[in-house]
Amino acid sequence: MTTPTPVIFIHGLWLHASSWQPWIDLFRKAGYDPSAPGWPGDPDTVDEARANPEGIADHGIDDVVAHYAEIISALPAKPILIGHSFGGMIAQKLLGQDLAAATVAIDAAQIKGVLPLPLSALRATLPVFKNPRNKHRAVSLTAEQFRYAFGNAVTAEESQQLFETWTIPAPGKPLFEAAAANFDPHSPAAVNTNNELRGPLLLITGGKDHTVPESVTRATLKQYRHSEAVTDILDFPDRAHSLTIDSGWRDVADASLTWLRAHGL
């Protein structure tokens, strides 16, 4: 018997790792060995995360990358990485470091070199940027803020349910680091986009995403133009930032599986 390929799901800001559970179940049935380890400081449950935001605070991009690199080092083979939002950026960094067999980056946070900064993205992240001290804090969203940043393409009722079920405080530091990326020659948001030997990369974008608009994902795609390694993009025009957890998650998951299988993974 062959050993199932490991798959690591990486969440982004404001969502708990357990929000990947439907994906984990689907990928296990498809023959993979999936898991969704949280970021450093993340507790095991949503309730614990809400009760102890200080444990999540002040972790930056390099901390998160090192955390997942250590997890990967204990695996029997290079994993497939599937990341959402900042998890998509983290997955791209790990792919560029040759630590992954392939990566699916869903509505991934902007990497160094990406210039578009749409007004909707500024509004979605304003709860963090409105106070410079938030760089070292964990910040929570209100239901209204979540509705704008994540749930704008689903009903108000579904957005409220997703907010109540999955949201946790998020460290502000990664957002401050990404915002300063193009002014910092040593930015942790830099990705090795020129790596010719890396595994395949699929960028997925939601056409109604306020937090990571389609223009950001397409600008990310251009950053890979000097590499001959596989870089594909897939649009979901009617989806927003909640596309990995809302009632349409299965469409995105099935598309990811189809792409992986097309590349023999």
pLDDT in tens, 11-23: 999 999 999 999 9
* C-alpha closest to that of 124 among 95, 152, 161: 152
* C-alpha closest to that of 229 among 207, 190, 263, 199: 199
pLDDT in tens, 26-56: 999 999 999 999 999 999 999 999 999 999 9
Number of independent structural domains in the chain: 1
Q: Which domain, by its residues, includes 89?
A: 6-263
Predicted pLDDT at 1: 58
DSSP 172: S
Q: Provide the CATH number for the domain around residue 254.
A: 3.40.50.1820
**Residue 21 contacts by C-beta under 8 Å, 6 or more apart in sequence?**
36
Answer whether residue 212 is part of any domain: yes
Phi/psi for 55 (5° steps) reads -70, -25
Instruction: Decide if pLDDT at 196 tops 80.
Output: yes
Beta strand 170-171 with 138-139: parallel, antiparallel or unpaired? Answer: antiparallel
* C-alpha closest to that of 197 among 125, 102, 114, 123: 102
Answer whether residue 1 is part of any domain: no
pLDDT in tens, 202-229: 999 999 999 999 999 999 999 999 999 9
